[in-house]
Structure 1
């Protein structure tokens, strides 16, 4: 049985970074270290579902918008506001730094962020994007736009925390997981069955250190 935390942990991980794990477990350093390692594992496991959600969302929206505006590079003619137009410009600049001076539409689509695609579901685009086109990107959804957009935005937040190596152990991860599947189902239900075959999140949620399962 372990007697104490390895001496290098707080030196390498840093005291401030380790503090949220200690705080979650009343200062038990050994269990906090287990929680830190579990946080890495469950973050890794969430990558698959979040990957599927982001890919499905961007391709569904892209398909509807290029149909609506009759061009693959629909952002040239769509009424994007300054914020989203700047994100497209930043994507092109990033591609240029990679040596892709004349990017295809697919190149740009791939470079645009998860947050960009969710931002297209904002109220400001109701008239020009949602009503004429983007609602069709979710053929199995019949609710209002705002709850859909809000749910997707929480997934952007979760994705960003994972990609920036932040704690997610404090979240209601079972609810997050259910939400990803629900959102995927709005776009293409068959993806849900395919993803469940290799999704490791449910198993990891049963093995959270400290005895709390969420």
Structure 2
């Protein structure tokens, strides 16, 4: 896969750049002016814009793997925790939470977590799996403890009891910060923000995804590291 299929003509470059809103157009033109001769500025700006879209696609692909892996890991871990002694509850933790989990899933103030699930394509009465699949990346991050949370914090308790025992590298601060960074870069990619302005964050996203994956599943982490979708896309920069 490449940023574009056919050679980019001056006419196409002008069409692409002129179709952008003024602030976005200036982002790419400014970078191009610093890296090209006057007659080639518009073409380079268009190439940067198309490459930005390409970066967004590989970030979406890579972080999408992490979202699915994280969702499945957290769902399985919380199902085991909710049904284990001394709670002995249902494995359907999202609809029938026990103990500390109830405070997060069915808060006294605010909506139940399951109400945030996207269920537009579900036919009939939603199942627990439908609710789980319908939650967003942000919903899952919300269940993880923040950096400075105390040991009495509900999320820290769940981390220690439900998640950490099943992770290869149970450093909760490092794990949470990497997951948060991946969520943020995924959102930026989804909204086609100018990633070309923050190549360092794009490059870091690959390592964050690999580290998270290896913490959950060593073999999948190694596979993702070797795929190198993001590093390969960075090598296709029109600035190189």
TM-score by length of 1: 0.83
Are 2:29 and 1:22 equivalent residues in the alignment?
yes
Deviations 1:1-33 (Å, cap 9, x if unpaired)?
Answer: 955764322342222222222233336332121
Higher relative contact order structure (alpha carbons within 8 Å, sequence separation ≥ 6): 1
Deviations 1:185-209 (Å, cap 9, x if unpaired)?
Answer: 1000111233356443222211212
The correspondence for 2:224, drawn from 187, 195, 203, is 195
Following superposition, the deviation at residue 85 of structure 1 comes to 4.7
Going from structure 1 to structure 2, the CA distance change for 1:128 and 1:102 (only over 3 Å counts) comes to farther
Q: Identify unmatched segments of 5+ residues in structure 2.
A: 1-7, 35-40, 84-89
The correspondence for 2:169, drawn from 127, 136, 141, is 141
Going from structure 1 to structure 2, the CA distance change for 1:86 and 1:130 (only over 3 Å counts) comes to same
With 145-154 and 75-84 compared, the bigger mean Cα shift is at 75-84
- Three-state SS of the structure 1 residue aligned to 2:195 is coil
Going from structure 1 to structure 2, the CA distance change for 1:197 and 1:175 (only over 3 Å counts) comes to closer
CA RMSD of aligned residues (A): 2.5
Are 2:184 and 1:157 equivalent residues in the alignment?
yes
Residues 2-41 of structure 1 aligned to structure 2 (within 5 Å) = 6-26=13-33, 28-41=41-54
- Judge conservation of contact 2:210–2:222 (CA < 8 Å) in 1: no
Aligned residues: 206
**Bigger radius of gyration:** 2
TM-score by length of 2: 0.75
